[in-house]
Structure 1
Amino acid sequence: MTDPQTLTDDEALEARAYEAFDRGDLAEASRHFGELLKRQPDARHLHYMQGLTHKYLRDWPTSLEHNLRAQALSDEVNESSAWNAGIAATALGDWAQARAQWRACGIRIPEGEGPIDGDFGLVSIRLNPWGDGETVFARRIDVVRARLLNVPLPESGHRLFDIVLHDGASTGQRQLSDGGTVNVFNALARLEPSDFRTFVAFVSCDSPDDMEALSAATLPGIGYVEDWTASITHYCLRCSYGAPHRHEDQADEDWSPDRNLGIGAQSRAAVVRLLQDWARAAPGRSVEGIEEREVEASEPADGHVWWRGAEDDEDEDEDEGPGS
């Protein structure tokens, strides 16, 4: 180990910069890397670290600036800085720059100008990774943009069909019902809010066939109906919304008649019509309540290393969302 007393001023400052970054104190890390760059303006690795720091600060212009500078100071393509530059350019809507960065990384993208619109596969997205870390499935339409396919909890501040910006490094894998797996990526920002609002509905029905009928029902303005009853296990959803019900031990039962639904829809009227039509279609079906909450997505706090993979934070307990 290097004796701190033998370090130069620049070496000591760089050590403090990396230490601040490693503990999640991004504002402090940015100050230290910025001071170092005043002294060493052509240090490629310092530009890279400043670009990385500002990616996690979600300061996209500064991140793009330093990642491009890091590339300019390199004799060959550095994929790490190219990926981070591509993420920042995508966040800024600088599609020419984003396309140039993906091509530099050897990624095949559709021809054309403007936003990339393709099919880059199914993934799992961790919303608000600096918070509860709810995970939902999504379809990538771009190298780092994905459209949400699950109805997120209202508390996430996200909606069904939102287009989100996600990080380039996978933080784990998630199993599919067919036994396959998909990569999990941290969401960095919501780029395009969906017009499908989130409604929470409480219904009762006698059998799984009743729920299958509701899930298969279609109506203009309805995007998707999810049965959250089994997937949300960390708290009682009905209690959180003040919906009247009884707590019963159903561990030995095959079916619970009380169902909690997440519905992505464009209007409350569409939800009301869907549920009323469903309830009238067969005996034993009832609608007990329809709720809607609009919540702003949370912001990351300094001092939390939220970008690390789950395997690096084994002691951290995450809530899994309705897409689990």
Structure 2
Amino acid sequence: MAHQSFRIAAAAAALALAPAVAAAQEQTLRAITAFPSGLAFSQSFLGFVEMVNERGEGVVQIDYAGGPETVPQNQQIDAVRRGIVDMQYGPASFYLGRMPEADAWVGSTVTAMEARENGGFEVMQQAFSDKLGVELLAHIDSGVQFHIYTLEEPPRDAEGNLDLDGLQIRSQPIYRSFFEELGATPISVNVPDVYTGLERNTFDGAGWPIVGIKDLNWDRFLRYRVDPGFFQTDLAVVVSPDSWEQLSEEARTLLTEVAAEYEKISHDNFQQIVAETDATVREEGMTVIELEGAARERFLDLAYDSAWSRMREAGTEHYDALRDAYYDR
């Protein structure tokens, strides 16, 4: 039910704001997503597609070709760069090895809308162009934080600090070093294999955004969640440079305007989904461990320092500008 809000909001915005367009040859962009179409994040991207197609009738359309079954995740950004597909939606942090600036979104404490206003988004556009060879169109679905989930109650020390010493926690590169600081042993498990691993008790927990925890049915096993959340989603919409150049000026203007509008629409929709999911998992018996006071601040400091330190150590001329724009803790 919640996923339908993306389509409804996009359609309403498109009808309310649709401009009168001059007759022109309609151009079509072929798009793919890093996630399967049924996941909440992909559903949000499809809301963006619908909004563009409503507003862009006669000018520009997006044809959704599918998820990783169409082009494998690890080949998608190069497929866009080479013009094999025109548009892609997925995490910027997939490319940390080539673009350390992705950590600015991971470690961000501001919204995508604020970053457009303060110049941060423009710096990220330059990084995407220089490091990945693609045009950054939007940072949608921002503001969704990550959490640590466990099978059993996570231990804390006498000061209330989270102590994951000895626990094996399903991880991914963006929070591996953070989990190690907490004493955990991060393990890499592909998303489709996590359910089986949890069912068999082969690891003790997982890091994951609050959105999607029920879609994947991981909440059947992960009965404890640590608050506060940390980091935020880093989901980019990128376009092939050749495809972008071949678009009419009208089409590029329309896509840019819809991208900025949809950043707010998707942010607000996900805040509602987060609240609904939080209420549901609590009602169904998930226990939320709320860190407080100095323990809470230490937890957040360790998280955000891990992202910004990683970017600084990787080396980028954009570090100072990105930290000023995206981090205000």
Question: Would the TM-score normalized by the shorter structure come out above 0.5?
Answer: no
Q: Which has the higher contact order (CA 8 A, sep 6+)?
A: 2
The TM-score by the shorter chain falls in which range? Answer: under 0.3
Larger Rg: 1
